[in-house]
Structure 1
Amino acid sequence: MKVNDSSQEQKWVRTKVVAEDHVIIPKIELENANADAFLESYVSDLTTIPLDTSKPLWEVHLLDLKTSDAQNVVVLKINHSVGDGMSLMSLVHACTRKTSNHEELPSLPNENRLSSKSMAGYSRLIWMVMLVWNTLCDALKFIATTMFLKDTDTPIKGDFRLSKSKRMCLVHRTVDLEDIKFIKNAMKMTVNDVLLGVAQAALSEYLERRYEVQDLANMMAKGSKCKWGNWIGYMLFPLSLALHDDPLEHLRRVKSIIHRKKNSLEALLTFTSTKILIKMLGVVRAASLTSRTISNTTMSFSNLVGPTEEVSLYGHPITYIAPSAYGHPHALTMHFQSYMNKMTISLTVDPTAICDPHQLCDDLEESLRSIKAAVQERNATQ
């Protein structure tokens, strides 16, 4: 756990963990209440209750609650200082076993990373020049974002100054992973590219309900091998919020930007610079600078890979995994988590900025359907 030493600097110290202090089993009396609504309310209420700093910063909530997705629910509440998304999900995976064989750990998809030598159309020298140039441009933009450059104001941006005291709303929706893979293969993209395209299309549809279409256009014209702990690098991604007759245009734009971002060391650079700032300025000042950067952007996006087969937690088969995060200055955070043949979309929203998160979930589903239909139509005419 973390404590303050004599100089008031925080440091990690070993402590004895008493499991009973971290496991919470609430008494649930639903009567005629909706179980799904109760779960959303319960998890959202947790965002207003800080973790007890006198003990390790994690809790396990066991809910004897039958929802539309599962027979029971386990809620893990873990402070981000314990680890980043990859390491925490690796911890969850390590606690599970294959349902088909309780002695085996979960299987994760293999990663096929392309080396610089296999990049079509690039010589190694040109690739190195592009890498340096893209990294320099991204670094300058990141510095500008920290100092003064802000995203265009939209209804989903929220007021970061009030984020710590706000009750955040957490919702999720599960879609078919095979639909995403179908689009990925047809468009020669990655799953992450498809998800970004779907998110961009859905946000465009969602914001169109709050702005006239032309006003929105004018507004935008203006403006586990993973290591344990927090190994976080940031990538600033410009979403183009606009309505297109061809939904595949969202994918093309995303693919173009991602292609350039992959030839940049932006994530590594931001991770390294954060580590240097922590050593030079201390955790508090470094966190303040990071918060300033985040507050000048609109939303967070994360995509995590999960087991390809059904896994069980102490003999209980898991039906879905829905990670999320709160406490940072964003009114909207999107997490995508794959598991078996499903993809769960988790949204953490500020209800004062996004009062209808289920509508945004509907838009995400509809955007995926429309993009899939457009791909099928394109394939049929080729």
Structure 2
Amino acid sequence: MKNSKMKSMAIKKKEKEKKEEEEEPMSPTGRMMLAPKFNIFIILFMGYYSKIDPILFKKCIHQTLLKHPRFSSILVASGASFRWRRTAVDLDRHIFVPDVAAAAESPDEFVAEYASRLSVIPMESAAKPLWEFHVLNVKTSDAEAVVVMKIHHSLGDGVSLVALTHACSRKIDDPASLPVLPLPSKKRREGGGRGLLKLIWMVVLILFYTLVDVAAFVSTLLFLRDVKTPVGAGRGVRLSRKRFAHRIVSLEDVKFIKNAMNVSVNDVVLGVTEAGLSRYLNSIYVKNRGKGGENNEKSSNCLPKNLGIRSTVVFNLRPSPTIEDLAEMLEKEELNGMWGNVVAIVLLPFTIALQDDPLTYIRKAKSTMDRKKLSLAHQCACITMKLTTSFFGIKAAARLTRAVFRNTTFTFSNVMGPAEEVNLFGHHLRYIAPSVCGFPQSLIIHYQSYNDKIIISIGADEKLISNPDQLCDDLVKSLQNVKEAVKQRALASASLDYC
């Protein structure tokens, strides 16, 4: 019996050693994200309804996240080659519970300052896996406690990492069950007798829009740069500290606008972003011209005419894994080819102007997105980066990617979250607000849905945008203005029908 037990222990020890010695090559995109001057980290804020029990939190991390191969691997460099090597993880080196006594006077500012410092603190890739949690048991305006997660983007693309977070969560009323994610809306296929003519016209549009977008992308790589604005990045912005802010708004308000205008949720948040940026930039131009004061900011239009900027949108080309797939992957501790950074870049134009009718922003956003959906430029961009990597190496591909970000103004993203509130790492989650640091732009605007809420999350260079809370407020105000305009239009329509 004793020999049998010793044999079993020896087998387990061998399996553990074998696991630690396993190596897997790093993907080209992952290597690019570790290139000099392009070291990208995700900063994830998780607000909770209760104080965090560090012991329970660690236990849940051990039972879920540590089963993911990427979160239990270190980077091993051999010349120009990088590989993931499985290793034993010491959670005490990844989960920190700092003293929060200094947060008594201004808890929101304490959390913001803490996260801002994290944006410039390096993480040694050879010392430990590239992620860590910071548990801040301080009551803020939105939560009883906040956990800030810092994770290197080379571990996975944003959509996969958010999906992984969901796979680590459980239903509030059924701790054994996974939460429900909203399904993407499917468009109805319209029939018709002119199918061939429609198909030919569609092919013409796809070719035309693809050629236009490819030309714009190549021009951006080589020389085309956005006009300078108060939110445009300067030299060295990648190394500067970032400030983070967020606001929680009603998802029902967004859906109300969506249904009333027959558009998508993405169209709504895109239009709101253009409206909010226009409002924010106008207030800066007003102040710069010596017309300070609240009344002037609301009534004066000091925006330059024909002011256009562009946003980069980075999205996953690989089919997004489902929560069930990721949960199975965690159980088996195998990636099964469903992980990594397989991404493309799309350039979105924004017209910065104050519109008399707030609904104009939504209509323009829909027109832009409808056109982008007919373009294959993102596929061409992905192929370009792959060819560049193959023929000229990672540094050349990173240089081109930096050029895209450097020559545009900001990054925009919109990700769906669970359709219900969840228990994440042993505690009831109130909100989740992701952002990014370490890339050559001064601003990222991210929308994250969760239950009946949408969290607007801002990451900004503190030198250029010292008060990202104002931009958050302008985005919220723009959403309210669009909602009120929709209501007024509905009332006017009902009045005409009555007459």
Task: Tell me the TM-score range normalised by the shorter chain.
Answer: over 0.9
Question: In the alignment, what sits opposite 1:202?
Answer: 276
**Aligned partner letter, 1:170:** F
Residue among 51, 59, 68 paired with 2:141:
68
Deviation (angstroms), 1:79 = 0.4
Identity across aligned pairs (percent)?
Answer: 42
**1:148 aligned to 2:223?**
yes
Q: How far apart, CA to CA, are the structure 1 residues paired with 2:228 and 2:164?
A: 37
Please provide the CA RMSD for this pair: 2.1
Contact 1:320 1:344 (C-alpha < 8 Å) held by counterparts: yes
Which residue pairs with 2:307 in the alignment? 220
Q: CA deviation at 1:221?
A: 7.1
SS in 2 for 1:145: helix
Aligned partner (choices 243, 262, 266) of residue 192 of structure 1: 266
Deviations 1:270-329 (A, max 9, x none): 223223322222222211110011100000001010000010013311000001111111
Contact 2:182 2:416 in 1 (8 A): yes
Aligned counterpart, 1:330: 441
- Per the TM alignment, residue 13 of structure 1 is displaced from its structure 2 partner at its CA by 2.9
Matches within 5 A, 1:90-101: 90-101=163-174
Matches within 5 A, 1:99-114: 99-114=172-187
Look up the SS of the partner of 2:132 in the other structure: strand
C-alpha distance 242-208 of structure 1, shift in aligned 2 (>3 A)? same
Task: Indicate yes or no: 2:232 matched with 1:157.
Answer: yes
Instruction: Decide which moves more: 33-42 or 269-278.
Output: 269-278
Match in the other structure for 1:80: 153
Q: Residue type matched to 1:79 in 2?
A: H
Superposition deviation, residue 215 in structure 1: 5.2
Query: Any gaps of 5 or more consecutive residues in structure 1?
Result: none
**TM-score for both structures, normalised by structure 1:** 0.94
Q: Which of the two has greater strand per residue?
A: 2
Q: Describe the shift of the 1:93–1:28 C-alpha distance in structure 2 as closer, same or farther (beyond 3 A).
A: same
Partner residue, 2:198: 123
Q: Is the 8 A contact 2:243 2:466 kept in 1?
A: no
Distance of 2:169 and 2:87 partners within structure 1: 25
1:28-67 matched pairs, under 5 angstroms:
28-30=100-102, 32-54=104-126, 55-67=128-140
Aligned partner letter, 2:183: N
Q: Structure 2: how far apart are the matches of 1:352 and 1:310?
A: 36
Q: Which amino acid aligns with 2:219?
A: A
* 2:245 counterpart of 1:171: yes
Alpha-carbon distance between aligned partners in 1 of 2:450 and 2:377, rounded to the nearest angstrom: 28
Change in Cα spacing, 1:276 to 1:116, as seen in structure 2 (3 Å) is farther
* C-alpha distance in structure 2 between counterparts of 1:257 and 1:222, whole Å: 14
Which SS does the other structure have where 2:258 is aligned? helix
- CA deviation vs aligned residue, 1:20-56 (integer Å, no higher than 9, x gap): 2211111221364211111111111100101121221
Instruction: State how far apart, in whole Å, the 2-side matches of 1:231 and 1:24 are.
Output: 31
Letter matched to residue 153 of structure 1: K
Give the Cα–Cα distance (whole angstroms) in 2 for the partners of residues 318 and 259 of structure 1: 35
1:368 aligns with 2:442: no
Report if the CA contact (8 A) 1:116-1:124 is conserved. Answer: no
Q: Is the 8 A contact 2:271 2:362 kept in 1?
A: yes
List per-residue Cα deviations over 1:312-370 (Å, max 9, x = no partner).
Answer: 01331100000111111111100100000000011000121112211111101110000
Partner SS state of residue 292, structure 1: helix
SS of the counterpart of 1:271?
helix
The separation in 2 between residues aligned to 1:35 and 1:222, in whole angstroms, is 35
List per-residue Cα deviations over 1:170-189 (Å, max 9, x = no partner): 11111111100100111111
CA shift for structure 1 position 10 = 2.6
Cα drift, residue 268 of structure 1: 2.5
Give the match for residue 334 of structure 2. Answer: none
Which of 281, 292, 295 is equivalent to 2:403?
Answer: 292
Deviation of 1:11 (Å) = 3.0
What does 1:339-354 align with in structure 2 at a 5 Å threshold?
339-354=450-465
- Taking a change above 3 Å as real, the CA distance of residues 141 and 376 of structure 1, as seen in their structure-2 partners, is same
* Bigger mean CA deviation after superposition, 64-73 or 149-158: 64-73
1:25 is aligned to 2:97: yes
| Counterpart-to-counterpart distance in 2, 1:332 and 1:265 | 26
* Mapped partners of 2:219, 2:395: distance in 1: 21
Q: Secondary structure at the match of 2:432?
A: coil
**Corresponding letter in the other structure for 1:104:** S
Superposed CA offset, 1:150-188 (max 9, x none): 1111000021x2123211101111111110010011111
Gaps (5+ residues) in structure 2? 1-73, 287-299, 311-319, 323-337, 494-499
Corresponding residue of 1:133: 208
Aligned equivalents of 1:18 and 1:274: distance in 2?
36
CA contact (8 A) 1:117 1:124 kept: no
Which residue of structure 1 lines up, in the alignment, with residue 38 of structure 2?
Answer: none
How many correspondences in the alignment?
380
Distance 2:77 2:260 in 1: 54
Q: Note closer, same or farther for the CA distance 1:137–1:118 as it changes in structure 2 (3 Å cut).
A: farther
Cα distance, 1:194 vs. partner?
Answer: 0.5
Task: Show the counterpart of 2:427.
Answer: 316
1:230 aligns with 2:341: yes
What do the CA deviations read for 1:34-86 (whole angstroms, capped 9, x no partner)?
A: 11111111111100101121221111111212212112212111001111110
The answer for the alignment partner of 2:317 in structure 1 is: none
Cα 1:258–1:345 shift into 2, 3 Å = same
1:13 aligned onto 2:85: yes
